[in-house]
Amino acid sequence: MKYRYITSPKGEIVRSARIYTPQEHQLSKDLIRWEAVQVIQQLVKRNFEAYVVGGSVRDLLLGNTPKDFDVVTSASPERISSLFREAHIIGRRFLLVHVLFGNIHVEVATFRATLSHSNAQRWGDIHEDVYRRDFTVNSLYYSPIENTILDFVNAMDDIEGRILRPLIPLSTIFVEDPVRLIRAVKYSKSLNLSYAGKLKKKILQSGHLLQHISESRLTEEFIKILASPVFAQIFMEMYETGLLTYLLPNIDEFLRKDTGAYESWARDLMECEQYFLNQSSDQGDWVAAHKKNIKSQSIRNGRIIYILCKPMLFEMKGSKRRIEQSIIRLRIKTLLEPLIPPNTFISKAMQLFAQREH
């Protein structure tokens, strides 16, 4: 085992991170998108630190296929932007740089300093940046040039033990960003991780913080859940932890009135999840392939939305006459409030209800 050392404020040489070699982490640099490698090479060539960080490293270690490869560096956003022909600084609260390679972009962030209430945008070094990550499993830094992984917080142990452990104190992690509540549940189910210590208890106590999150951010997280292969398990866990009360309050209220309604709803969701998993095994990586196809994505998401709303929709069948399409659309939109998913998803859910109405 190799180690990275730094000089402490007292002038002492201390260990700051474990360095995992290729023989220890067993990742191939060929698994990293060449665009991300190209960005890192250009930054390192100019004497900046640069790594692939976060979810992509985690996913590779867990045997999953990353959706994207984010890069973090010691260079400032302005310096990053100046190094590439097509690069755009984006963001308000946190500045990021999108480096463009045709239709592909690589998101590059500057190391962030320890959170300061006076200046949340202050840049830092890698030793500070690691403690701005939410959970240990998202805190690994991979160098495709040296083919090594830097681990400052024993994250590799948590990945091996499949544990979701917060890096930020429980007293502030969800106050700083309540959306982390949803992400914690999503990580737990999609990565098969168990909650560390009192994390689940804190989730159960903190759902009310989601009241202050905008409709657009909640909708963004909702769409990410729809794209997950284990969306049913995530929605069921959100119900169990009380988070569904704030993501889909109208649906949650209906389900809590009748235990039988919840059991039927959960069963239908699991059957829908299994259907798409079977599609994946029959046709390769179904989810990844269909993300590129807007029509297929709308069909998938519309079907899931239909299942989410199904118990409440079929309450409308008291009348024998056919229900107007406009009424169905309004009912689905109302059930999904405060979320504002694309109309294409709503339309597909409407069609499924209309087909089964007879």
Cis ω for the linkage preceding 338 (within 30 of 0): yes
The domain locations on the chain are: 2-161, 217-356
Q: What is the pLDDT of residue 229?
A: 93
For residue 282, indicate whether it is catalytic: no
Q: Distance between CA 40 and CA 20 in Å, rounded?
A: 19
| Average per-residue pLDDT for the chain | 89
pLDDT category of residue 202 using cuts at 50, 70 and 90:
very high
Q: Distance between CA 136 and CA 285 in Å, rounded?
A: 27
Give the residue, 296 or 267, on which the prediction is more confident: 267
Contacts of 310 (CB under 8 A, 6+ apart): 265, 268, 353
Can you tell me the mean pLDDT for 2-23? Answer: 85
For residue 129, indicate whether it is catalytic: no
Residue 220 has pLDDT above 90, yes or no: yes
Give the residue, 121 or 228, on which the prediction is more confident: 228
Q: What is the pLDDT of residue 14?
A: 79
For residue 258, indicate whether it is catalytic: no
pLDDT tens, residue by residue, 46-75:
999 999 999 999 999 998 888 889 999 999
Fold of 2-161: Beta Polymerase; domain 2 (3.30.460)
Contacts of 50 (CB under 8 A, 6+ apart): 39, 40, 43, 44, 71, 72, 73, 74, 75, 143
pLDDT category of residue 93 using cuts at 50, 70 and 90:
confident
Contacts of 346 (CB under 8 A, 6+ apart): 302, 305, 329, 332, 333, 336
Q: Distance between CA 313 and CA 351 in Å, rounded?
A: 12
Residue 323 has pLDDT above 60, yes or no: yes
Is 210 exposed, middle or buried (CB count within 10 Å of its CB: 0-12, 13-18, 19+)?
A: buried
Q: Are strands 13-20 and 148-151 parallel, antiparallel or unpaired?
A: antiparallel
Q: What is the pLDDT of residue 207?
A: 97
Predicted TM-score (pTM) of the model is 0.87
Which two tokens mark 148?
């090594």
Residue 127 has pLDDT above 70, yes or no: yes
pLDDT tens, residue by residue, 229-288:
999 999 999 999 999 999 999 999 999 998 789 999 999 999 999 999 887 655 445 445
Q: Distance between CA 291 and CA 276 in Å, rounded?
A: 13
Which two tokens mark 179?
């959306």
pLDDT tens, residue by residue, 143-194:
999 999 999 999 999 999 999 999 999 999 999 999 999 999 999 999 999 9
pLDDT category of residue 117 using cuts at 50, 70 and 90:
very low
Q: Among the options 30, 59, 129, 134, which is catalytic?
A: 134
Q: Among the options 59, 70, 151, 158, which is catalytic?
A: 70
Q: What is the pLDDT of residue 7?
A: 78
Percentage of the chain lying above the pLDDT 70 cut: 91
Q: Distance between CA 22 and CA 19 in Å, rounded?
A: 10
